[in-house]
Structure 1
């Protein structure tokens, strides 16, 4: 499985701090063209679980160069939003959506008044957008490999390896350290224990995850954005059942699932992470850009549109 690459600090972006509704201070970066313009979109990038927002800086540069304002940020416990200590730190997947992503929606509305709000969600970042109270304000969405890690949806050829790594080793190490020490293992960023509990729970629905059970009614149905879900055939997490399982929650949205094979973009592999590597700027990034601009796929798009499962 491809892993995130380390990226440098954004070159043209400005750092910011934003308080969530519970007072927690979140860190991120803004790419801003100037005065608010109702013809220009602001794009919020929701990261994958325990991937730093800096990983998406080159993709944000690309969107900025093509006319969008961009916001990237780290969920609480990660990167720019990491507290002094993670042992005992309280954070969950639902906190990342209902508090942290909601804070970014509020920031976008305040800092870019009148501009349409679009979202790019990677992995769990696509799930987070359905947990925010203001999600009805989103115009268009592109997700990449977006799902919430139900183990039976993992690719059959990788399922047992992923189970051992993420559903056995990760919770055991989390119990020992009080958080998951992913950074020292080279797997991902260090991760709060509550997020680990949500990830490893073997439940087929989000509302059966530990933090999902405390939410009451989920807010996915309020999202009315046009959604393009991109998946890659060599992504062991983003299988067709996994992508469709999440899309099934967005009952008020028009959803298109585009599935792409690496060979269709002249690559040996793309996997779960490499869509956001700059080597795919020419082949893959224009697909996302085009959807954010028009909610349409280009005529010569690689891949196959997957019809919704019955």
Structure 2
């Protein structure tokens, strides 16, 4: 079963969501990568349903079907966590008919999870290619690329166009200006999402649930191993693990930042299935 619907956030904004499976099962929320639409995770969501879960995917404000206007001033990465993810968790808690809630975060999904005001309702979280945005954890030519993005490409394109065009950051969809500017702010700061904000530091340290981080060896531009490890260390949980995968581990030539969720790599999904079932 699959159903599209809208969820109202605390500030009145509506975000688009999709529910997979049947009520009463443990629920997995999928928190997407920057610029990715919820439809990208559909096959993966169906695999979780087959393993006995129900699943909710959603588009952050300013993305996909949650777009009202590109320059919506409320569209920011902070609001993706504090408002959007909070609203989704609330919806699941009220409508899922099962108190067991899990999170699978892709990329920025791991950065914004602690910002959700009701994160304590989540039992365990699995993060794929979730990294600090801080440029201090990139090396070689990839570091030059992110420095150019944060300091030249992003400021120039957002000033000229009022958004971050997809070609400017290598994504599939344009990003709202507020999202792009905050992303760059995190990227230029040594602490990434934490900035120098004691409240954010506290929010990360408060997370005390099982966590599993996966980094991908050929994902050097968007989520290199050191950047994933830094985000891993920012979380306070004592029950956490980080695994670094190589494409050759699965007989693949490449996986990259988005490859985990592609149908041809579905054998990797068993790791998520088995790990989540430990905590049901």
Same fold (TM over 0.5): yes
SS where residue 71 of structure 2 aligns?
Answer: coil
Q: Which has the higher helix share?
A: 2
The answer on 1:241 being equivalent to 2:226 is yes
TM-score norm. by structure 1 comes to 0.83
SS of the equivalent of 1:281 reads: helix
Write the distance in 2 (CA, Å) between the matches of 1:218 and 1:95: 18
Aligned position for 1:277: 262
Is residue 75 of structure 1 aligned with residue 60 of structure 2?
yes
Deviation, 1:249, is 2.3
Contact 1:174–1:180 (CA<8 Å) still a contact in 2?
yes
d(CA) in 1 for partners of 2:8 and 2:132?
A: 26
Pairing 1:168–2:157 present: no
- In structure 1, the gaps of 5 or more residues are 1-11, 297-310
Decide whether the 8 Å contact of 2:216 with 2:225 is kept in 1. no
CA deviations over 1:37-66 (Å, ceiling 9, x no partner): xxx320000001111111111111111111
> Residues 262-285 of structure 1: CA distance to partner in whole angstroms, max 9, x if unpaired?
111111111111011111112x11
Alignment partners' CA distance in 2, 1:216 and 1:186: 29
1:268 corresponding residue in structure 2: 253
Structure 2 residue 166 is the aligned partner of structure 1 residue 177: no
Is the Cα–Cα contact under 8 Å of residues 87 and 177 in structure 1 kept in the other structure?
Answer: no
Whether 1:143 and 2:132 are equivalent positions in the alignment is no
Q: 1:20 aligns with which of 6, 9, 30?
A: 9
Structure 2: distance between partners of 1:232 and 1:59: 18
Map of 1:205 onto structure 2: 191
Residues in 1 aligned to 2:274 and 2:190: alpha-carbon distance in whole angstroms:
32
Q: Is the 8 A contact 2:28 2:103 kept in 1?
A: yes
Instruction: Quote how far apart the aligned CAs of 1:207 are.
Output: 5.3
- Tell me the TM-score normalized by structure 2: 0.91
8 A Cα contact 2:149 2:169, kept in partner: no
Distance 1:56 1:268 in 2: 22
- The question of 1:47 aligning with 2:32 is answered yes
- Structure 1 distance, partners of 2:206, 2:227, is 21
SS in 2 for 1:189: coil
Secondary structure in 2 aligned to 1:264?
helix
Residue 204 and residue 185 in structure 1: after superposition, are their counterparts in 2 closer, same or farther (change >3 A)?
closer
1:97 and 2:86 matched: no
Q: In the superposition, relative to structure 1, how do residues 266 and 295 fare at CA in structure 2: closer, same or farther (>3 Å)?
A: farther
Report whether the alignment pairs 1:29 with 2:18.
yes
Question: After alignment, is 106-115 or 116-125 more displaced?
Answer: 106-115
Rate the CA distance shift 1:92–1:213 in 2: closer, same or farther, 3 A. farther
**Closer, same or farther: CA 16–215 of 1 in aligned 2, 3 Å:** farther
* Backbone CA RMSD of aligned residues: 2.3
CA drift at 1:253: 4.4
Q: How many residues align?
A: 277
